[in-house]
Amino acid sequence: MNARTHLHEPTNEGPVLITGGAGFIGTNLATRLLESGRRVVIFDNLSRPGVEANAHWLWHRFGDRVAIEIGDVRDAGRVRGLVAKASQVFHFAAQVAVTSSLVDPRDDFETNLGGTLNVLEAMRVMETPPSLVFTSTNKVYGALDDIALDRAGDRYAPHDETLRSAGVSEARPLDFHSPYGCSKGGADQYVLDYARSFGLPAALFRMSCIYGPHQCGNEDQGWVAHFLRCALRREPITIYGDGRQVRDILFVTDLADAFVRCQARMHELAGRAFNMGGGPSSALSLREVLGTIASLTGRAPQIEYGPWRVGDQRWYVSDTQAFRRATGWAPAVDAQEGIARLHEWLVETTMPSQARVPATSRTHAA
């Protein structure tokens, strides 16, 4: 499929529109929906490394049931035309890195906040708008500097036992740090306000760290995949800070299930924000993830250290109880299994064939 090809949808039942749909999360959600018989339109500018390969993969697997529309969410006219034909919208298109937002705040603003406003405005003028799920971020809660932390071996943990056992809930005050935090936080609030002010059927997830197949991770975003790729290539991994920072990681198929459940219950969930991640049972420090990777690859990754980065949270774990109570959702893939599954996918899809054979199985000439 040529990158400029547009595959147009038939005009019967409206498809599901996924903005940023050739990205890692969009590809996995599209797969879930297409396998269930839904038709999907992917709207993506293909600007991130690896996403064009995801678009090719979707098209070759599902053919004309998936439409690949090349364009930018900042193009209000294109957005309006696609939203008008959709039965559901998942809005993932975004500038995703704090570091990039510090380099070019205007581009970050125009993509994250302006692009989201384009989607909302396209919905607002419709008599019967599609339902919308938007992906916000845990960065709307800021650096969480007020949370007292204890150092417990290779990780940080809150001194407060309730917070340690449950995680950060949606009652946490918002505190935007970095241009990225401001643009995503502003978009977060616009989605909630358009649901309130205009009655739009829209809800959002404030997401922690998502990982899984089709992830083109780098050190700014998608760090679990980035760590694994570096380890498999025997390249050094840079840790910013001391590596004891903790995140609750969530395997992407569990996130896709949460998306589907949210859309199915939109009549109850519209206007709400939910923290979304693996929760306390899937909370790991960077050092602990590196230990798991060493077990999978048979060698310890090479580590280099850099200074703490602006707005970096030393500990963040999602309290997902609100969404669990509302929908019955629960993750099915634990952290160790998920990292192993991502490792297997990376070996199968990115490594030379000789690297896939365990060292103990290789034969050598005498």
Looking at every residue in the chain, the average pLDDT score rounds to 91
Share of the chain above pLDDT 90, in %: 86
Which among 228, 233, 204, 206 is positioned nearest to 217, based on CA atoms?
Answer: 228
> Does residue 331 fall inside a structural domain?
yes
Structural domain total, the chain: 1
> Does 181 or 366 have the greater pLDDT score?
181
Q: Please give the pLDDT value at position 351.
A: 64
pLDDT over 70 at 215, yes or no: yes
Distance (Å) of CA 324 to CA 89, 165, 167:
22, 16, 14
pLDDT over 90 at 99, yes or no: no
> Does 214 or 3 have the greater pLDDT score?
214
> Does residue 281 fall inside a structural domain?
yes
> Does residue 19 fall inside a structural domain?
no
Q: Which amino acid is at 56?
A: H
> Does residue 335 fall inside a structural domain?
yes
What average pLDDT does range 288-307 have in this prediction? 96
Which among 140, 148, 167, 138 is positioned nearest to 281, based on CA atoms?
Answer: 167
Structural domain harbouring 309: 94-357
> Does residue 159 fall inside a structural domain?
yes
What average pLDDT does range 23-36 have in this prediction? 97
Distance (Å) of CA 254 to CA 28, 260, 329:
10, 10, 9
Its pTM stands at 0.91
Catalytic residue among 141, 180, 194, 211: 180
pLDDT over 50 at 333, yes or no: yes
What average pLDDT does range 180-201 have in this prediction? 97
What average pLDDT does range 59-82 have in this prediction? 97
What average pLDDT does range 42-56 have in this prediction? 93
DSSP states of 140-172: GGTT-TTS-EEEETTEEEESSHHHHHH-B-TTS
> Does residue 12 fall inside a structural domain?
no
Q: What is the CATH number of the domain that holds 285?
A: 3.40.50.720
> Does residue 177 fall inside a structural domain?
yes
Which among 157, 137, 155 is positioned nearest to 147, based on CA atoms?
Answer: 157
Instruction: Dig out the tokens for 4 from the structure.
Output: 């400029």
pLDDT over 90 at 35, yes or no: yes
pLDDT over 90 at 30, yes or no: yes
> Does residue 26 fall inside a structural domain?
no
pLDDT bin (cut points 50, 70, 90) of residue 88 is very high
pLDDT over 80 at 364, yes or no: no
Instruction: Dig out the tokens for 246 from the structure.
Output: 């903790």
Cβ pair 203, 262 in contact under 8 A: yes
Residue 180 appears among annotated catalytic residues: yes
254 membership: H or E segment, kind and range: helix 252-264
Most confident of 7-21, 281-295, 308-322: 281-295
